[in-house]
Homo-oligomer: A and B are copies of this chain.
Amino acid sequence: MIPHYGLIGEYEVSLDAKGRFRMPAGLLKKLGDTDHLQFVIRQGWDPHLTLYPRPVWEKEIEALNQRSELDPRVKQYAQAFWRGANEVSLDSADRIQLPKRLQTYASQVSKLILTAREDKIEIWTETEYDKLLEVPAEDYAALGRELFGNLPAYPVNPPA
Contacts and interface: CB of A to CB of B under 8 A. Distances in A.
B46 A137 contact: yes
Interface string A79-104: 11011111100000000000111000
Copies in the complex: 2
Contact of A10 (B45, B46, B99, B133): B99
A1 interface: no
A53 to B, nearest CB: 14
A159 interface: yes
Interface string A97-127: 0011100000000000001011000000000
A114 to B, nearest CB: 11
A interface, by DSSP: helix, strand, loop or mixed?
A: mixed
Given A76-B132, A80-B132, A82-B115, 19 more contacts: A10-B84, A10-B86, A10-B101, A12-B100, A45-B133, A45-B156, A63-B148, A73-B143, A73-B147, A76-B143, A77-B140, A80-B133, A80-B135, A82-B117, A83-B115, A83-B132, A134-B158, A135-B158, A143-B155
